[in-house]
Amino acid sequence: MVWLPWPCSAKLVFGNAYTVPARRDTMHLMKNNARTMVEKGGVIVDGENLSIQGIVDALSGVAVTVSPRALKNMADTRATLLAHATDRPIYGVNTGFGPMVRHIISSDDLSALQYNLVRGHAVGMGVPIKESFAFAAMLIRLNTLVKGMSCASPALAQKLTALINQRVVPVIPEHGAVGTSGDLVQLAHIALTLLGEGNVFYEGKIIPTKAAFKKVSLTPHVLGPKEGLSLINGTSVMTAIAALLVREAEHLVTLSARVGALSLEIVQGFTDILDGALHEARPHPGQIYIAELMRKATADSKRMRAREHMKKYVQIQKETYATDIVLQEVYSMRCIPQILGPAYETIQNAKRVVEIEMNSVTDNPILDKKTTRFLHGGNFHGDYVATAVDHMKVGLAKITMLSERRVNYFLNKNVNHSFAPFLNMQTPGLSMGLQGLQFVATSTTALNQSLGYPHSLHSIPTNGDNQDVVSMGTDAALITAKVTENAYTVLAIEMVTLAQAVDLLGIEKMLSTSGRELYRDTRAQIKAVIADRTLTTELNNLADSLRPL
């Protein structure tokens, strides 16, 4: 199945009557100012204003057009490059690459150098990354090129735009990038497609690029000086993966807050743990945001309790005695805003970083048009993106940890003191209840904990020690994608668990609007587990339904 995450139906996240509260002013530092220009139904790429939403629009089928002003700027900088390609040494234009930079290339071989660069780096291994990731990488690379500082030709931008609009998407193997000089190996597979070589996704199949070009009446692009380097030198693949994961992560943190709110309803949680005054006393913006979101979710619940009513049931006496009433919930319920709040903030920071990166020039060297200087540096280094996705990954792992602990609460009779073992609805001992699902939640959460280690710390020098400190940004993003997949699995298991508890208590009508919608959406995929049955297919269907469409 081709994974095209948007346009998104947010019903499972926000519900029919549910809206996320507006962000408070304290979030102003995290605001994203990038706004993709959309005119006459198309995404206008100008090198300055591409946003994550712009990628979403393009994925959903909106046509992409390069700004005429950007094409004019590309033509100007291209002419400057060609004018100086043979009168001064320019890295990657008339020199070798990396440790071979001391080799000056003949003017007759400048084009051949670019072909050799692309073919010599298009050596990725492993399964293809998702088609949506590759598509987003094409769009981000296009946006980088049209800034003009990479000195690629307008013809190259127009060819890449045609591939995007025809949905001819390069097959990019998962293994090969160290994140400096950006995503050389993976981006080389995009460049290879422009040459009419390699394989592509087209109409749901993987076919040779040459065959796809024939179907859409395209011809290969002829690489000129520096164009191979302009295509493969940069962070566009890691940034593309990160961009789509940011949207997934925003979706997951909101879903997690709603599911956590439902767990509070089931145990008749106290309203003061979500009270605005409590969270304003520790005014972290993410914590305040999540608490407000959960107050909204539980506002019309008939299960939540006000703590001041407890004096009717617990009388203060002179002697010490025990009460059966639980006066404080376990941390996985009581501390949801304090745990999801940091996760939300890291996601918003990742969004800011990614959208800056999407509108940046990340290859080397680049042209300063005002002074006609060719600037040599390291904008291709992926540490900004790698660090952002690593931090976001920790928050996503925390989501699974919270969810798994609540699953344990409801399935462990020694903890909840209310339900049959594993929420059994038949004969405990003879039938299993949800026992098997807990193993899956526990093992998947443990995997996320292991994957949560920051991959950007795994720097291994390469390229003749020229690249002596690398970012591992693309692998960091791909690992975060796996953590994201796992989070859906664990949340799906929790939703089954909570639905089973609701049935055992017979409290569906007492739930909030948000809680009832989660319950009914769960039951639409998985009926109550009474007699033992295999749940693998049903659980996969539920997890898939939680994802944005």
Give the per-residue SS3 of 370-417.
CCCEEECCCCCCCHHHHHHHHHHHHHHHHHHHHHHHHHHHHHCHHHHC
6 within 8 A of 549, measured Cβ to Cβ: yes
- The CA-CA-CA angle for residues 177, 93, 238, to 5°, reads 20
Instruction: Give the long-range contacts of residues 526-531, CB within 8 A, separation 24 or more.
Output: 526/496, 526/499, 528/425, 528/499, 528/500, 528/503, 529/423, 529/425, 529/433, 529/434, 529/496, 529/500, 530/425, 530/426, 531/426, 531/431
What does R_g of the chain's alpha carbons equal in angstroms? Answer: 27
| Cα–Cα distance, 347 to 252 (Å, whole number) | 11
Q: Find the helix or strand (DSSP H, E) in which 173 lies.
A: strand 173-175
For residue 7, is the peptide bond before it cis, meaning its omega torsion is within 30 degrees of 0?
Answer: yes
| Cα–Cα distance, 514 to 37 (Å, whole number) | 35
Task: Give the residue among 349, 330, 346 at the shortest CA–CA distance from 401.
Answer: 330
Task: Give the residue among 177, 187, 234 at the shortest CA–CA distance from 473.
Answer: 177
Q: Is 115 a catalytic residue?
A: no
Q: Which residues pair with 374 in a beta bridge?
A: 367
| Annotated active-site residue in 91, 202, 313, 384 | 91
Q: What is the DSSP string of 408-470?
A: HHHH-HHHHSSS-GGG-SS-BTTB-TTHHHHHHHHHHHHHHHHHTS-GGG----BTTTTB-S-
Cα 393 off chain centre by: 9
82 within 8 A of 225, measured Cβ to Cβ: yes
| Cα–Cα distance, 477 to 517 (Å, whole number) | 32
- The CA-CA-CA angle for residues 128, 194, 160, to 5°, reads 95
Residues with Cβ within 8 Å of residue 221, at least 6 apart in sequence: 155, 156, 159, 194, 195, 227
435 within 8 A of 423, measured Cβ to Cβ: no
173 within 8 A of 133, measured Cβ to Cβ: no
454 within 8 A of 448, measured Cβ to Cβ: no
- Separation in Å, CA 393 to CA 245, 250, 343, 470: 10, 12, 9, 19
Secondary structure (3-state) at 174: strand
538 within 8 A of 525, measured Cβ to Cβ: yes
Would you state the structure tokens that stand for residue 28, as one six-digit string?
Answer: 């102003």
- Measured over the CA atoms of residue 115, residue 364, residue 121 and residue 385, the dihedral's sign is negative
| Cα–Cα distance, 165 to 146 (Å, whole number) | 16
Catalytic residue numbers, as ranges: 91
